[in-house]
Structure 1
Amino acid sequence: MRVLKPATLARVLLLGTVLVWGGSFVVVKAALGDASPLLFNLIRMSLAAVVLAGVNWRELHGVTRAQVRAGALAGLFLALGYQFQTFGLVRTTAAKSAFITGLVVVFVPLLTLVPRFRPAGMRAPGWTAGVGACLAFGGLLLVTTPAGTAAKDIFGTIGLGDLLTLVCALAFAGHLLILARVSKGMGAGLLGTLQIADAAGVMLVTLPLEPVHFFHLTGRLVVALGVTSVLATAAAFTIQSYAQQHLPATQTAVILTLEPVFAWLTSMVVLGERLSGRSMAGAGLILISIALIELLPGTIHSTEIPG
């Protein structure tokens, strides 16, 4: 039997991860009819933490306080990203949620314009960051506003779900910058376990912010929890770390930018959601902005887009 080369295996695994992330928007959107958003996230992250602890239990022996603090900080921003994303997903479409979440790769270079936020060894973003940000902003307006909206009414038509998802993208951008600072000297398994466990703790603490909790055990909810906890969280973060050890940043970026496309196609097939011509143009601008920032010279390393 022919064994795949590490780089080839990394591409295959990463593409599978992006497919899972893209499809998870639809899975979660459907499951939120059976479980309230914050309760769903708490169960999802707790299951992922148990799985990762079981796999990486050897690495947990001898963990230092500094490593615990690093995992706690990363877990805090990861939890905030998922909380805002899931709350937003209740109030917007799966396709819109995916494209807006994809703006994380625009926010990361913009945040690194501030030297304090820039991890050691990361160069300042080039001119492509500014151009990409402008394109992404225009694309966001097209995706989130109905056709025929007057210019003076544009910001009044952006829904609460869209705004919550935008905050989610900012939180995920902060999470990535924190990982860039704390990941040196820590194994991927250890860091992944610590941050996922801490994210579960943050979700437990913030659970009372949800006014009403409900949980109806259904087949689609079981599938959603299995997909999101085991595949889209525990396995996906491990695979993404492995892939970036064997692939150039540009190749990783090209694969990761397919996530909102997969989410849109899945939502169209499964949920019957459609993007208007205006929204499709906006989605195209967002994808162009992501590709511009990630692929042209003068940019920083690629980023991940959790789903």
Structure 2
Amino acid sequence: MKKQWIADASLLAVTFIWGATFVVVQNAISFLEPLSFNAVRFWIAGICLLIWLLLFQRSSLQHFNRSLLYAGFWMGLWLFSGYALQTIGLLYTTSSKAGFITGLSVVLVPLFSFFFLKQKPTANAVFGSIIAAFGLYFLTMERAELSINQGDVFVFFCAVSFAMHIIITGKYSAHYPTLLLTIMQIFTVAVMCSIGAFLFEDAPNMWNGAILAKRQVWTALLITSLFATAAAFLIQTNFQKYTTAARVALIFAMEPVFAAVTAYIGAGERLSVSSIIGCIGILCGMIVSEIPIFSWFSKRTLTQGNPRT
């Protein structure tokens, strides 16, 4: 139980990092296109972790094999798919709708856990996920149209990809060395983002000194590569083995909450009543998932039904 609480707290810290860097990334991609930005970000993160491996954990290389390569590739594939599909979807839909649809992975993860891992989610996890989904709606969908377009479809499959990334990480993280698995995952994303940038963006800008020298770009790359990528995915890969996929999805649902709060504090953005209700809803979803309300209710019912107890 103690390891689970430590894992949940560590993953919540990762979610805070992702949410807090949202504004920084938004500023950077106004100069460097999304796939190009992520390519550079993941290359830097992967190289930093590789240097750390060679300097301090070279003995881990004896565990490198085809199975680990396969596991890291699949984790990276789903992670890249999430980023790429979200980027494509944002060309055709609004940021608010994309944020809500992406957040629906909080509902998809318990469902996928049941179908692919045969893990039956607890009633608390299901109820907490539903509450969090409603919270996401209030946080992201204020004044947004309810119609569906092709961008929404792309973003929905982005949510599927992020949900599958959580599922796959939970499956493999307990069987392979954390650092090696994280490095393989990150380099997979770096390679795929680079290919995507060459196909769909002005890829040479990735190494354009004038663009990279802009303060908004190099600070965003430094912060996201070291903290939001290298450290974040290392922590997720290491700690997810101690908790459930459904709990991870609920914790990650806090990302737009942290993004909204940091935007309010750092950028002076206004938090509407709907946004505040949404933040509270997501927080309540997390709390409900942690408190065994249904277990207490069942025990109380059994106790009342048995006079000898």
Shorter chain as denominator, the TM-score bin is 0.7 to 0.9
Alignment correspondent of 1:288: 284
1:276 and 2:268 correspond: no
2:101/2:155 contact within 8 Å kept: yes
SS at match of 2:147: helix
1:172 and 2:175 correspond: no
CA distance in 1, matches of 2:146, 2:97: 16
Alignment correspondent of 1:235: 231
SS at match of 1:265: helix
Q: What's the offset of the Cα at 1:39?
A: 0.4
- Give the alignment partner of residue 25 of structure 1, picking from 22, 38, 59: 22
Larger radius of gyration: 2
Q: Give the letter for the 1:33 counterpart.
A: S
CA distance in 1, matches of 2:221, 2:70: 28
- Give the alignment partner of residue 42 of structure 1, picking from 17, 39, 50: 39
Within 5 A, what are the aligned runs for 1:1-307? 16-57=13-54, 58=58, 59-61=60-62, 63-86=64-87, 101-114=102-115, 117-118=116-117, 123-128=119-124, 130-147=126-143, 154-155=146-147, 160=151, 165-213=155-203, 214=205, 216-217=211-212, 218-243=214-239, 258-293=254-289, 296=292
Q: Give the letter for the 1:44 counterpart.
A: R
1:106/1:129 contact within 8 Å kept: no
Q: What's the offset of the Cα at 1:61?
A: 4.4
1:15–1:154 distance in 2 versus 1, CA, 3 Å? closer
Q: Give the letter for the 2:220 counterpart.
A: A
Deviates more, 1:278-287 or 1:33-42: 278-287
Q: 1:225-249: per-residue Cα shift (whole Å, max 9, x none)?
A: 1111111111122234455678899
1:80–1:251 distance in 2 versus 1, CA, 3 Å? closer
5+ residue gaps in structure 2? Answer: 296-309
CA distance in 1, matches of 2:193, 2:138: 32
Q: What's the offset of the Cα at 1:101?
A: 4.6
Q: 1:270-307: per-residue Cα shift (whole Å, max 9, x none)?
A: 334334323433443344334444654789xxxxxxxx
CA distance in 1, matches of 2:14, 2:285: 22
Q: 1:28-62: per-residue Cα shift (whole Å, max 9, x none)?
A: 11111110011001111111111111112322345
CA distance in 2, matches of 1:182, 1:274: 41
SS at match of 1:154: coil
Q: What's the offset of the Cα at 1:132?
A: 4.3
CA distance in 2, matches of 1:88, 1:74: 21
CA distance in 2, matches of 1:254, 1:136: 7
Aligned-CA RMSD value = 3.9
What TM-score results when the alignment is normalised by the length of structure 1?
0.73
1:139/1:282 contact within 8 Å kept: yes
Q: What's the offset of the Cα at 1:180?
A: 2.1
Q: What's the offset of the Cα at 1:26?
A: 1.3
Deviates more, 1:138-147 or 1:196-205: 138-147
1:249–1:203 distance in 2 versus 1, CA, 3 Å? closer
1:72–1:39 distance in 2 versus 1, CA, 3 Å? same
CA distance in 2, matches of 1:136, 1:249: 15
5+ residue gaps in structure 1? Answer: 300-307
Deviates more, 1:96-105 or 1:206-215: 96-105
CA distance in 2, matches of 1:139, 1:40: 30
Give the structure with the higher percent helix.
2
Q: Percent identity?
A: 35
1:195–1:249 distance in 2 versus 1, CA, 3 Å? closer
CA distance in 2, matches of 1:171, 1:250: 15
Q: What's the offset of the Cα at 1:163?
A: 6.1
SS at match of 1:112: helix
1:296–1:77 distance in 2 versus 1, CA, 3 Å? farther
Q: Give the letter for the 1:46 counterpart.
A: W
1:278–1:188 distance in 2 versus 1, CA, 3 Å? same
